[in-house]
Chain A
């Protein structure tokens, strides 16, 4: 898997090559074990080149790898979901597809088992950006829906983005493989206070 596939094009090919190499090393040896020497060897680059590209060293590189992997995850998710105009379908399809992608993400699953102390804080760092991006997606759909009295698009989008990510990471009592359960979750819980269905 190419971790940098979804990274900003402005980062250039050297950045991308280094991030890809670092992802490969981290997936193989674990985040805590990775050294810049390993990454340099994997990328076929000099250590100095890596320092030039990532002046913050190892910490900056690990953060960049996580950010790239997260970006790739959501790009893949967007492709799974396809074009969706309404917020209900977006959430229903999104929850199912995201859950499946998480389950099938072998590197993430292994890392969560072995190195939760490394990966979870890294993910928590990028979480505000993810919430913001997802909230923007949701807000553009909410703006076209009939909302219940008192609902404000920005608030609703923020709340929905936060809760959707929570349910994706941890389904709790909800069976995300059961379409009826996902419908109940999305329509009966997430959107119950948001959409005006003519009640």
Chain B
């Protein structure tokens, strides 16, 4: 593999890799082989980036046949990027699941969730280096019609948590709004939304987001329109 020397990408054996311990199977259903493949793919992409990772590399890393990889990713590397990001989103939600489940209020839930997701972009070696080094391969997944799939994923990940506070019908719009907020400030940070300053996230949530996603707002709108 000629790309093994790419210096700016996270080296193999980084903390990020060690953290890849499992798939959040509660959220995205995936069978044993696909999971093994996605985890192998993540290791390859961490070492070499997306462009220099071939499906053959992944087959070798996962110790499965090429045919298996091609059967699993008939869309080729496009589907691969998506799988890696879904995997990481699922894993992250799995990791912070206890925090989210213990949130006593909707405000607390949103502050925890948004803070954790925004920190990923800063701290997560794979995610942030992919966004920085291979924007042409990454950004299309987060814009226009392809973003629709990300919003669907966000709904699936957020639903069990939001349902504790919101009527089922309000979950989808709330999850969408939250995903859009995380993506815009994740990709293009703003000084007033700083994931390392809890007060700024609390302010974003309580001032701007809570009124937008709490049910009372809908009633109010219906009354005044």
Contact = CB atoms under 8 A, between A and B. Distances in A.
Given A128-B188, A170-B147, A170-B151, A183 B207 contact: no
A172 to B, nearest CB: 5
A150 B207 contact: yes
A192 B145 contact: no
A190 interface: yes
Interface in A149-178: 150-152, 154-156, 158-159, 162-163, 166-167, 169-170, 172-174
A121 B144 CA distance: 12
A123 B184 CA distance: 14
Interface residues of B, number: 40
B176 A124 contact: no
B183 interface: yes
A184 B180 CA distance: 17
A124 to B, nearest CB: 5
Contacts of A151: 207-208
Contacts of A184: 218, 221
Interface stretch (A49-57, A58-66, A111-119): A111-119
Nearest to B149: A170
A124 B142 CA distance: 10
Contacts of A190: 212
A144 interface: no
A127 B208 contact: no
Contacts of B136: 117-118, 120-121
Interface in B158-186: 172-173, 176-177, 180-181, 183-185
Given A116-B140, A193-B208, A197-B224, 16 more contacts: A116-B144, A117-B137, A120-B139, A121-B135, A124-B187, A131-B188, A150-B207, A169-B143, A170-B151, A173-B151, A189-B173, A189-B212, A189-B217, A192-B212, A192-B217, A192-B221
